[in-house]
């Protein structure tokens, strides 16, 4: 992932040298995202800068990018259909680099601002047209790549991949909404991404396992576009295992295999003795990877918390919990010379994989909740996966959030996605069934259909117990009693949240900064609306979902039985398991907060 920064429309051009110096200083705050090269463009009171992580065409493609008419662009993105677009402009446009993002310029020249939906990939970019002194910015459909927008006191408009580059200079700033573009000509936003599911109307297309499988395989294969060594996150869960399996199966067909070979080295980082390490080893053995394990301690994680909050730019509890091992893992992987990994984010949101979905009262509510979850991904899992790894110059690609795959997954009748014990359907059954190939198996059946494993008390909860014990010592009861006075906006509800908030406020003290963080009641990463499904959930202030029944106990929820602790896609459950409670891991990759793994091709 690269880091982009732009300031457009500075009022006092006589101060251009001072302005340029400030632009360079702000852009340097993003250098962790792109340590390979830096570039800046200036035209009157307009500045565009980039910190580059060279993954495609590393020997060319330094930014800003230009054309012969001096249309200028800075981009953080991967445009997977760039070769097809290049052919479209043969004879019309002279390409000067091998960068996949250079195609943005001729598309703009040909179609004006109405080209963004033609890009197949993830991106955040700013384009400036020197001829008419107008500019536009856009962010990908789901918000895989981060982008912020701010406004200066002189009327200038600022853009940055992370808010740390603009928070000290802007009067006001906010998240740039996914699936939108900003136009200076229109003086505002408009949504360019308008899929059918966005209206939350329940679809009726029948489930076709072969269509779902083909869409996912295509999504994975297109993300193997790279000119540097790459990897695949492998936790041993369904999502990351399918990503790794499809990658392994198709790697030999790719250009990357010709450069780096087809052998995969898998790497995992986790707490000593984690049962998830065993699951990752099992999948790695089946796929034939060379497997390596790295361990971290609870103290290692605690020591990294402030850095994690600085890079993630959030005080959301579950995001910080899950980001920490991913942050530590990214440093290990980057030290091996790996710049890009594939990961399994997005599956649980698209397919209703979190265990609280078992309680959806009907398919209409189930579908609406998946829509709400996908729309919010940019503030949770996408933010975590991108920023925790970009802290070390490591790029994450997420095939489950491919636009075409999303259309298929969100376009099917949600009845097929729902948990139904009588029909033998567990969570994400549609994905499991799609890859249940007797003749050419992707995974062993016991892995493909394995429900979520029970966390051990010493591993599944020791990371979170360690955090809770540590923050208990750092935050007094008196501090908690005054929490609403000190933090009236998004008031912390427990000592762990209070501790994270203290760090965040010290790093990002602006009102605009705290307003970028989502808040509200949640159970196992549910939206506030889903809490209405079960009365008992309303009494919990623990986002990990300790009041969720699961699996066979789910049928008892109407009577209030079967209380369980659930580790979800944002982080593991709190506390130890008591009595008849059932602890169920429900997440993917690094999201369980205890371990993350990566398989790399070298």
Q: Which residue numbers belong to the known binding site?
A: 100, 233, 269, 343-344
Other beta carbons within 10 Å of 205: 13
Torsional sign, CA 89, 90, 93, 94 = positive
Q: For the stretch 454-475, what's the b/e string if a residue is b when 16 or more beta carbons lie within 10 angstroms of its beta carbon? A: ebbeebbbbbbbbbbebbeeeb
- How far apart are alpha carbons 525 and 413 in whole angstroms? 23
- How far apart are alpha carbons 323 and 321 in whole angstroms? 6
Phi, psi of 415 (to 5 degrees): -55, -35
Other beta carbons within 10 Å of 134: 15
Other beta carbons within 10 Å of 261: 13
Which residues are 158's β-sheet partners?
7, 150
- How far apart are alpha carbons 519 and 527 in whole angstroms? 10
Which residues, other chains included, contact 576 with Cβ-Cβ below 8 Å and sequence gap of 6+?
A: 457, 461, 465
Strand intervals (E) in 239-350 = 264-270, 290-295, 340-342
DSSP symbols for 184-248: TTTTEEEE----GGGG-PPP-BPP-HHHHHHHHHHHHHHTT--SS-EEEE--SSHHHHHHHHHHH
Helices (H), 313-449: 317-334, 347-351, 363-375, 381-390, 403-411, 429-434, 445-448
Binding-site sequence positions for L-glutamine: 100
Classify residue 299 by burial, with Cβ atoms within 10 Å: 0-12, 13-18, 19+: exposed
Which of 2, 10, 101, 525 is flagged as catalytic? 2
Which residues, other chains included, contact 201 with Cβ-Cβ below 8 Å and sequence gap of 6+?
A: none
For residue 255, how many C-alpha atoms fall within 13 Å in the half-sphere facing its CB? 9
- How far apart are alpha carbons 453 and 468 in whole angstroms? 23
For residue 4, which of 66, 70, 64 has the smallest C-alpha distance? 64
Are 414 and 401 spatial neighbours (Cβ–Cβ below 8 Å)?
A: no
Span between the terminal Cα atoms of the chain, in Å? 20
Residue 22's alpha-carbon distances to 28, 153, 160, 166, in angstroms, are: 10, 15, 14, 10
Residue owning tokens 């359907």: 425
Note if 525 is an active site residue: no
Question: Which residues are catalytically annotated?
Answer: 2
């Amino acid at each position: 992932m690269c880091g982009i920064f732009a300031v457009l429309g500075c009022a006092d051009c006589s101060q251009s040298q001072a302005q340029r110096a400030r632009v360079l200083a702000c852009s340097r705050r993003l250098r962790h995202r792109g340590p390979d090269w830096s570039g800046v463009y200036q035209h009157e009171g307009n500045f565009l800068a980039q910190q580059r992580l060279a993954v495609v065409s590393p020997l060319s493609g330094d930014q800003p990018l230009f054309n012969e008419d001096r249309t200028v662009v800075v981009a953080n993105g991967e445009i997977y259909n760039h070769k097809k677009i290049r052919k479209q402009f043969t004879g019309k446009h002279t390409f000067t680099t091998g960068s996949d993002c250079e195609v943005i310029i001729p598309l703009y020249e040909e179609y004006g601002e109405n080209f963004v939906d033609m890009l197949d990939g993830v991106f955040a970019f700013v384009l400036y047209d020197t001829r008419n002194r107008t500019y536009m910015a856009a962010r990908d459909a789901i918000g895989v790549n981060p982008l912020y927008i701010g406004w200066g006191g002189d009327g200038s408009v600022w853009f940055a991949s992370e808010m740390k580059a603009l928070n000290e200079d802007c009067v006001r700033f906010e998240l740039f909404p996914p699936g939108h573009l900003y136009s200076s000509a229109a003086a505002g936003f408009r949504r360019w991404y308008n899929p059918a599911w966005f209206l939350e109307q329940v679809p009726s297309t029948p489930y076709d396992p072969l269509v779902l499988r083909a869409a996912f395989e295509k999504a994975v294969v297109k993300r193997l576009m790279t000119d540097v060594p790459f990897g695949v996150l492998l936790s041993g869960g369904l999502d990351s295992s399918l990503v790794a399996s499809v990658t392994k199966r198709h790697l030999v067909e790719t250009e990357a295999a010709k450069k780096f070979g087809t052998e995969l080295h898998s790497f995992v980082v986790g707490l000593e003795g984690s049962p998830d390490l065993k699951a990752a080893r099992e999948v790695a053995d089946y796929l034939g990877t060379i497997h390596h394990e790295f361990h971290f301690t609870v103290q290692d994680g605690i020591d990294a918390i402030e850095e994690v909050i600085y890079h993630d730019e959030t005080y959301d509890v579950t995001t910080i919990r899950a980001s920490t091992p991913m942050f530590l893992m990214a440093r290990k992987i980057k030290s091996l010379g790996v710049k890009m990994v594939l990961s399994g984010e997005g599956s649980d949101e698209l397919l209703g994989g979190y265990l609280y979905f078992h309680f959806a009262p009907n398919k209409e509510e189930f579908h609406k909740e998946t829509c709400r979850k996908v729309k919010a991904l940019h503030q949770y899992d996408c933010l975590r996966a991108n920023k925790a790894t970009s802290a070390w110059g490591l790029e994450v690609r997420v095939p489950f959030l491919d636009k075409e795959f999303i259309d298929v997954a969100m376009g099917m009748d949600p009845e097929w996605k729902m948990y139904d014990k009588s029909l033998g359907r567990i969570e994400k059954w549609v994905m499991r069934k799609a890859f249940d190939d007797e003749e050419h198996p992707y995974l062993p059946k016991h892995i493909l259909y394995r429900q979520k494993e029970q966390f051990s008390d010493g591993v599944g909860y020791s990371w979170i117990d360690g955090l809770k014990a540590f923050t208990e010592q750092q935050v007094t009861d008196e501090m908690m009693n005054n929490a609403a006075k000190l933090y009236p906006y998004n008031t912390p509800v427990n000592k762990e949240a209070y501790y994270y908030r203290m760090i965040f406020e010290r790093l990002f003290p602006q009102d605009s900064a705290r307003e970028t963080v989502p808040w509200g009641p949640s159970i196992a990463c549910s939206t506030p609306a889903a809490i209405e499904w079960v009365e008992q959930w309303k009494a919990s202030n623990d986002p990990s979902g300790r009041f969720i029944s699961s699996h066979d106990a789910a049928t008892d929820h109407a009577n209030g039985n079967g209380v369980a602790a659930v580790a979800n896609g944002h982080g593991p459950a709190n506390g130890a398991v008591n009595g008849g409670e059932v602890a169920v891991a429900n997440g993917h990759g690094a999201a369980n907060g205890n371990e993350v793994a990566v398989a790399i091709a070298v």
